[in-house]
Structure 1
Amino acid sequence: MKLLDTVRLNQDLPNEGLRAGAIGVIVEVYTTPDCAYEVEFVNDDGSTRAMRPLRQEQLDSA
């Protein structure tokens, strides 16, 4: 996975109001201390719904 890839969440994140299957875009890639991806999820109007760092195992390619 790389910057600006579209990804699909593969688990529910109830505290963020996100369900498995939500589509997001990688907006940052972290390599230390561990590999992680900052993913932005948006509403239908384009406003940010949630943005948070996620591990690779929490995501699938969309």
Structure 2
Amino acid sequence: MAFEMYGDVILSRDVSESGLHAGDVGTVVERHVVPGVSEDGYSVQFFDMTGNTVAVVTLPPSALRLPTPT
């Protein structure tokens, strides 16, 4: 699945080394395409409630999902 640049995504698993938890919401800031590799990678920026950056991590699409409308 391809995610849009600057779109919101939800983390589907914990990334404990970055202090992130499944369900955290982030913003896609870069897409990494590697020829010959089946999955792209995405750099995702996560913020706290005041807008400060908590972490920027590179993740496979399998670790992300789109938000669902409520």
Per the normalisation by structure 1, the TM-score is 0.93
Runs of 4+ in structure 1 off by over 2 angstroms are none
Percent identity, aligned pairs only?
31
Per the normalisation by structure 2, the TM-score is 0.83
The alignment covers a number of residue pairs equal to 62
Unaligned runs of 5+ in 1: none
Q: Note if 1:44 corresponds to 2:62.
A: no
Query: What CA distance in whole angstroms lies between the structure 2 residues aligned with 1:11 and 1:55?
Result: 11
Unaligned runs of 5+ in 2: none
Cα offset, 1:45, TM superposition:
1.1
Structure with the larger strand share: 1
**Structural RMSD (CA):** 1.0
Query: What CA distance in whole angstroms lies between the structure 2 residues aligned with 1:38 and 1:61?
Result: 15
Whose radius of gyration is greater, 1 or 2? 2
